[in-house]
Amino acid sequence: MNKSRLWKVLASCCLLSGLFLQNASAQESHTVEPRTIVLKRNAQDAANIIGVSSTQSIPESRLAFKAMEQYTPTLERQLNAQGLKLGDPILLRIFKVPALLEVWVKKGNQYVLFKTYNICQFSGKLGPKLKNGDRQSPEGFYNVPASALNPKSSYYLSFNLGYPNEYDRFHGRTGSLLMVHGECASVGCYAMTNSRISEIYTLMYRAFKNGQKEVQVQAYPFALTDNNMRKMQRHSSYRFWLNLKEGYDLFATNHKMLTVTVDGTGKYRFRSN
C-alpha cells in the first residue's frame, strides 16, 4: 500500500482536526506542532474586531478572526441581556444524551448557564473512551488551555479536550487528539456545526484573552441525577459514572468551578473553588 493510501486509511476526523496542516510535507510526517499564527494585518484592526489586544500568544488565523467578527455582536447582546460580558470566565458541560453542550459564564462568585447548543454528532455510545480506535467520545473532566485552540482545523474551528487526562492515564486509556469541532461528522469527537463552534470558540478565545488560564469541560453521558442513575445500575460504566456524579452533584449545589484531582486509587476527587 503506497504512503498516500495508508494515510487515508489511518486518518480520523479527530487526528485531522487536531493537526495544523501547513503543507504536504507536514501531512506526511503526521506530527505537526501547533504554533501561534501571526496575522499580517494592522494590529488595531484586529483589536477592533475582537475588542482586545492581539499580542497574546494564542493560536490565531484569518478564518478564526472572520468567525469572531461575525458572531461577536450577537454574543455581546445576549451576554449583556443576562448581566454578563464577553471575556468573562466560562466553563462547558457536555451531555451525550440528549446531545447538548452548555456554556456557563461566571457572574460574581458563581457560574450561570448562558447558552445551550445542540451537538450535531458524537461517535460511539454511552460510556468513556477506553482505547485508541474504539471510536468513543470521552467522558470525564478536562481542562483546556489556550494552546488547545485550533484555528486552522480541517473541521473549521476546534479545540483539543486534552484526552487522556490524569484519570485516563491512570486507568491505561489510550488515544489522543479528541476534539470539539465544527462540521457534523465525528470519529471520537464532538461535532457542533460551524456556526455553533464559532460562538463557542469566540467565548473561549475572549475568556483566554481576558486572563482565564483554562476552560473546564465536564463531559457526561447524561444528567447524573439520582433517578437517571437508578435506571442505569446494570450498565458496565455505572461505577465510573458514580464517581463522575460526585463532581456533577457538587457543581449542581453551588455552581462554582471544580478543582479536580485523581487520588492514589484512581478516583476523581472534587472540591469547589
Residue labelled with grid coordinates 441525577: 225
The 10 Å Cβ neighbour count of residue 66 is: 12
Q: Of the candidates 196, 190, 189, which has an alpha carbon nearest to the alpha carbon of residue 12?
A: 189
> 72 phi and psi, to 5 degrees?
-60, -45
**Which of these is catalytic: 13, 14, 120, 189?**
189
Q: Tell me 120's DSSP state.
A: -
Residue 171 annotated to the active site: no
- Side by side, the strands of the sheet bearing 110-118 are 110-118, 100-107, 90-95, 214-220, 140-145
Catalytic: 189?
A: yes
Q: CA-to-CA distance for 92 and 113, rounded, in angstroms? A: 10
For 131, the grid coordinates are 482505547
Read out DSSP for 21-79? --SHHHHHH------PPPP-S-HHHHHHHHSS-S-S-----HHHHHHHHHHHHHHHHHH
Annotated active-site residue in 181, 184, 235, 255: 181
Which segments of the chain does DSSP mark as H helices, in order? 3-10, 13-18, 24-29, 43-50, 62-81, 166-170, 194-209, 226-231, 238-254
Tell me how far the alpha carbon of residue 201 is from its chain's centroid. Answer: 9
Query: Catalytic residue numbers?
Result: 181, 189
